[in-house]
Chain A
Amino acid sequence: MATQVLSGGALRGDAPGGINPVGIMPGFVTRDGVTVLEREPAVRNPEPSRRYYFYMMAPAIITLAAISLYPFFWLIWMSLHDVDVMAGDKWIGLKNFERLFTRDTKFSNGWLLLIQYSALCLFFEVVLGVLIAVLLNRSRWEKVLVTVFLMPMMMAPAIAGLVWYYLYNGTFGWYHWFMQSVGLLGETSILGSPSTAMIGLVLVDIWQWTPLIVLITLAGLKRVPRDQLEANMVDGAGEIRNFFQVVLPNLYPFLLIGILLRFMDNFRFIDSVLILTGGGPADATNILPVYLFDVSFQYFKLGRGAAIALTLLVVTIILGMFLVKIFDSPAARNVGRTEG
């Protein structure tokens, strides 16, 4: 195919149809086999002033400030006050934080439980999600099964919580009856004992959110380079070795996205926890977001609630940044590239 390389002046007037009429990007090969190397408008626009940029950005900045920055600063303000509409807000400095860090055992316990809950959910969801995705990948029933697996994820967490509340119910719950029949439970239901309630919550989260990991992993599996797989097989690798040496490293950035999403969700979604246990029994499932909800909207201690929310926000941002940094690491970026 003959390739005509256009540049500079050619684009200004010589090309059929005038100058690069639809804004073809440099490097693009047109139907006529012309490779566009650069694009220069016939008339250069004057360099916009700084005020021009300001006007352009102002709506976005104002909107962002209204929906994000203002509540953030308001949260900080509340955390430093005893918030009371009738008596008036009273400045109390760092007292809310002092209380949290010195004598509020529910706060420290809430953190520990949140970490435990998130870690258990993430571990099982990632392991099961990858396993299910590998089994589904390129199987004959992939599309049908993926649709079926995705159904729990489509359910609102509050509805999922209600469904499982009834399934776990000690009087008429089918899962309770089943677990009792196979000897996993005694007469106490899974949510009725401090030693098993957390397991009950984790199972619900796994049921609902493993499909997300399946979906993300399946997307990753489609992008595993065949040449790497074939090269590894030429070197004598079997299915399992191939999985660990080629597939899994290639899934790395995809799994990181999944972990990041699930991690953030676990810090935010408390619908099913509120419905299933409300944080009990004996605070066994009183993860920090549930405690935050209670403090703010059951006890209406908005100042203390703001202090808890602020700590949660800071930790979430730090951990999020940490995960993004891993995501941005050379190891993650190089995945999928064939060396040499």
Chain B
Amino acid sequence: MFYVPKNAIYKRIPRRKFLELGGGVATALGAGSIAVGLSSVVTRNPVQAASSDDAKWKQYSGTKLVFMSENTPPSFAIRENLKPFYDLTGIEVEILTDDLPVVQQKVGIDLRSGKADFHLNYVQDKPIGAPFADYFANLNDFINDDTLPQDPDGMGADAWFENFLDACGTMYTRDRLIAFPYDSAVACTFYRQDLFEQHSPDFEKEYGYRMEFTNDTTWKNVYEFAEFFKKLRAAGQDVPYGYAQHQGSFAWTAQLDIQRLMFAHGQWTEFDVDDKLGSKEPGPTRWGDEASVFLMEKWKELADVAHPDNLANDTLQLNTVYQAGQIAMQVQYHEFAASIEDEKTSRAAGGKTAYAACPKGEASWIKNGGQAVNGTNCGIGGIGINNNASDDLKRAAYLFSVWSTSKDTQYNVLKGVGGTPTRKAVMDMPGVKEARQRPTDMPNALTFDAVYDYGIKDPHFVLGPKIPEANEYYQIILTEVQKCLSGQQDPAATCESIRDQVDDLNDI
């Protein structure tokens, strides 16, 4: 085709060689494609309603699934122990784990692009469930399918702890169920019982009541505890700060942090919608009303007596601060109890820490006429199925959803790496009841009284706001509250700025 000089110094490639090379490249590309494609292989052995349970579990033997999860204890534990599932079903599952924001991006791109690289997704209730609710398969279809095996303890709301199925599975409508509760992080109070007991007499002299934590301990009490410790520090005593906030760079937990205070006082919520259901059109926000401005002032006052590095303390960092003995109290998620009780890494271990419900609302701080409650919120991580996958892959994925949230699996995780069960039946498993008291080999169980027996129940539990723009909403809250806490704007201006931005976000 092209002119080639007779004495060209480069080496010619004969046609045969060229074809060989082309064939080699094509083979390599083909093999690569097959290798990539193998991650989503599905094979099916048809079963009927009357088939045995064993046949139903094995109907997708030979299938390969990918589960994209946050790096939580259950995912680590299950990844290390997938053999029972493989033996049961013949399905291979690859579990990929990453930090929540990364999972959110990867899952979001996969779902929104119409792909199904991840057949199973970690559905962290608001950050992933709320924005992508429409992209997950409706699990009700599988629950009602008698050709699929079901958990003997059931998959309905009664099988899980109160409100858990609503938290991660119900978004905007009760007609669809997008996830089963897979793990949980529920807020409760961690406090240094040793320090509280040591300083209680002095505290009582000054404030007129004992320094202790009960279900009736209010946010006003928390303020006074923190103020007391700060005064001791100012007087030169070697004591930690009393309290610290989650106001670092993790926007979601920063929003949850202030939400607990707001909800505790009259069950204040951001929007006038059903908190458990959420809404795609939530309407005007309540930010900027009298109650929100007043409580923002209280939040600022709390920050002023708290650990000075509040704006760098995201959830993990705050826990590190507590482990290091730099604060005497934190409102933290109950999954962190295991790290607090680890004597190798924590100065708060060895019986020094006690666990209680989240602080209650102070009656005199309520401006909306509502009830004072122990405002408790959560991150209920669900497991959901990518609706872009083929029907067979979705059915195969359902098998893993059922197995991974079963009583036995959750019990093994709780014993092994300190999981946080979502099924009620786990509480009746051997040793769990005893583990709620010290000494314990399941340190997370020390929080169960405060969390499962109290905090998650109505009227204390707040699930929302479930809105499609949840992640941008969190960022607005974080930025404006940080401006307030750092003295750049006053509480009223903060609430007004939040209101304007949130209403703009929701096209009001």
Contacts and interface: CB of A to CB of B under 8 A. Distances in A.
Given A192-B310, A280-B248, 4 more contacts: A22-B9, A192-B308, A277-B249, A298-B104
A171 B311 CA distance: 13
Nearest to A190: B312
B108 A297 contact: yes
A249 interface: no
A277 B486 CA distance: 15
Interface stretch (B78-86, B263-271, B468-476): B468-476
Interface stretch (A117-125, A149-157, A181-189, A328-336): A181-189
Q: Of A103, A191, A282, A297, which is in contact with the most chain B CB atoms at under 10 Å from its CB? A: A282
A192 B312 CA distance: 4
A298 B105 contact: yes
9 contacts: A46-B3, A170-B312, A171-B320, A172-B320, A188-B308, A279-B249, A280-B479, A282-B483, A297-B108
Contacts of A286: 479
A285 to B, nearest CB: 10
A300 B108 contact: yes
Given A194-B482, A300-B131, A294 B312 contact: no
A278 B112 CA distance: 24
A103 B505 CA distance: 12
A271 interface: no
B340 to A, nearest CB: 15
Interface of A: 21-22, 45-46, 52, 85-86, 103, 169-172, 186-189, 191-194, 277-283, 286, 294, 297-301
Given A171-B321, A194-B488, A281-B312, A85 B112 contact: yes
A123 to B, nearest CB: 26
A281 B486 contact: yes
A193 B486 contact: yes
B440 interface: no
Q: Which 5 pairs between the two chains have the least Cβ-Cβ distance?
A: A192-B312, A278-B249, A282-B482, A281-B311, A187-B308
B309 A298 contact: no
B489 to A, nearest CB: 9
B7 interface: yes
Nearest to B9: A22
A216 B112 CA distance: 44
A282 to B, nearest CB: 4
Contacts of A171: 317, 320-321, 324, 326
B141 interface: no
B101 interface: yes
B324 A299 contact: no
Contacts of B313: 192
B113 interface: yes
A84 to B, nearest CB: 8
A192 B309 contact: yes
Interface of B: 2-3, 7, 9, 101, 104-105, 108-109, 112-114, 131, 134-135, 247-251, 308-313, 317, 320-321, 324, 326, 469, 471-472, 475, 478-479, 482-483, 486, 488, 504
Contacts of A172: 320, 324
B471 A298 contact: yes
A85 B471 contact: no
A121 to B, nearest CB: 21
Contacts of A46: 3
Contact of A45 (B3, B9, B312, B317): B3
B312 A188 contact: yes
A340 B477 CA distance: 68
Nearest to A23: B9
Nearest to A168: B312
Given A299-B469, A299-B472, A86 B479 contact: no
Contact of A188 (B3, B309, B320, B469): B309
Contacts of B135: 86
A278 B248 CA distance: 9
B232 to A, nearest CB: 15
Contacts of A45: 3
Nearest to A187: B308
A281 B469 contact: no
Given A22-B9, A171-B321, A298 B312 contact: no
Q: Of A186, A188, A279, A300, which is in contact with the most chain B CB atoms at under 10 Å from its CB? A: A300
Q: Of A45, A52, A192, which is in contact with the most chain B CB atoms at under 10 Å from its CB? A: A192
Contacts of A279: 249
A280 B482 contact: yes
A9 B464 CA distance: 90
Contacts of A193: 311, 486
B134 A86 contact: yes
B29 to A, nearest CB: 17
Nearest to A281: B311
Contacts of A52: 2
Nearest to A18: B7
B9 to A, nearest CB: 7
B175 to A, nearest CB: 17
Contacts of A188: 308-309, 311-312
A156 to B, nearest CB: 16
Contacts of B247: 281
B478 A280 contact: yes
Contacts of B101: 298
Given A186-B308, A194-B482, A294 B475 contact: yes
B258 to A, nearest CB: 14
Contacts of A186: 308
A67 to B, nearest CB: 18
Contacts of B469: 299
Contact of B113 (A85, A297, A301): A85
Contact of A194 (B250, B472, B486): B486
A261 to B, nearest CB: 28
Q: Of B312, B469, B479, which is in contact with the most chain A CB atoms at under 10 Å from its CB? A: B312
A193 B309 CA distance: 8
Contacts of B324: 171-172
Nearest to B325: A171
A121 B27 CA distance: 49
Nearest to B387: A86
Contacts of B312: 170, 188-189, 191-192, 281
A52 B2 CA distance: 8
Contacts of A192: 248, 308-313
Contacts of A22: 9
Given A277-B249, A280-B311, A299 B321 contact: no
B504 to A, nearest CB: 7
A277 B482 CA distance: 13
B475 A189 contact: no
Nearest to A192: B312
A170 B317 CA distance: 9
Nearest to A170: B309
A299 B471 contact: yes
B475 to A, nearest CB: 7
A116 B488 CA distance: 20
Contacts of A278: 249-251
